[in-house]
Amino acid sequence: MDLMTKRILCYVALTIGLSSALFLTNIEAESKKQDDLFAKAKERKSITFLMGEDKPGYQYFTLAEEHFLYDEIEKTDELVKSCRSLEDLISYLNKTEETEKYSNIQIVLHGNPYNGLSLPIQTEGPRATPKNLVKAMLQGRLPSLETNAIDSLTKINFWACGIGKNPFINMALDSFFNPSHGLEPQIYSSPHFVIFDTPKDSFTPKRLKASYWPYVYKRGYRPGDSEIAEAMRTQFPESDISWNEAIENDDLQNMYKNEFHIPVSWTVTYPSKESRPNVTTELEKMNWVRTQTELMDKISETQIPIDKFTWTVNKIIHTKDDGTKVPAIKGIGMATVLCIMDPV
């Protein structure tokens, strides 16, 4: 059995075995010691890649940069801010001189276990969702990682929120960042939420790994704090967290709160305006959504129930790649995830 066949069979097995509750449970403490991820081989350099930029009001990459430049234990020798896709990252590593193998490679990016990594797979390619990652892996869309920069002593660590809990993401990254020949590096994807924060008694931001408890609701329809707290008590009965206090307060010591949106969208073109179905009423809109097989697959991929999305479905004029304008219907669904995070 060749490697590609094994990967396809693995993909099928994961698809069959993935339960709908996979990502909607508390993340237990890791068994793997974090210190091991930063142990450095002698006479080797370490490098950090910042795979994005902060939006106004956010400091994720800013604090990550300070952390990996100045932290006594986790600081790296080099820092790169120019890569914006997985293809860019592999190409950068492939240009490394054979004598400059890295000890540690830290890769900081945005992402989550629901819709993957917040960057494209290829420079002009699709976003690195779990499904797109597996497709790219099976179809060989990325260049092979050479052994110039890495070997079995190299540790490659991906820091993004909870991506290590998604088996599709793990499988694809393991494939992309293992060379086609030679000794394999040690690859790690964080199963925890990743937080960079500056403690009151320190000038240097710290990297925190956090257990997290998610609550999903329709975007624009946020329930009251007491209703969310009651739902989380029911959803996570084993936790002793004071949900009311965690949700209502923004300045709890050692507790964090974050919200992010999960989008899904789909566009269908039609030969004429008259051939488009009506999508005027809410019933007509939801009937259209439910009859779109590939859209339903995308919703299933997020592991979020369809009724947790707010839907906008409209008739539009769609511009094709060749510039042709055609009648179409576009549907956009938005869910919001509220996460309570507790550093471990």
pLDDT digit string (tens) for 203-221? 899 998 888 899 999 999 9
Q: Which residues contact 332 (CB under 8 A, 6 or more apart)?
A: 263, 264, 265, 311, 312, 313
pLDDT single digits (tens) 90-131: 999 999 887 788 999 999 999 998 889 999 999 889 999 999
Looking up tokens 């008590």, which residue turns up? 233
pLDDT in tens, 267-312: 999 999 999 999 999 999 999 999 999 999 889 888 899 999 999 9
CB 41 within 8 A of CB 322: no
Six token digits for residue 77: 């020798």
Domain ranges of the chain: 3-197, 212-344
Q: Mean per-residue pLDDT for 11-28?
A: 37
The pair of three-digit structure tokens given for residue 123, joined into one six-digit string: 């420079």
Question: Please, are residues 233 and 226 in contact by the beta-carbon 8 Å criterion?
Answer: no
**Using the 8-state DSSP alphabet, how is residue 191 labeled?**
S
**Amino acid identity for residue 104 in this structure:** N
> How do beta strands 186-189 and 155-159 pair?
parallel
Region of poorest pLDDT, from 26-35, 61-70, 152-161, 283-292? 26-35
- The confidence band for 173, taking pLDDT boundaries of 50, 70 and 90, is very high
Quick: pLDDT tens for 212-262.
Answer: 899 999 999 999 999 999 999 999 999 888 999 888 877 666 678 888 888
> Could you tell me where the beta strands, DSSP code E, fall in 68-161?
78-80, 102-108, 111-112, 116-120, 127-128, 155-159
What span, in angstroms and rounded, lies between the C-alpha atoms of 145 and 138? 15
CA distance 179 to 144: 6
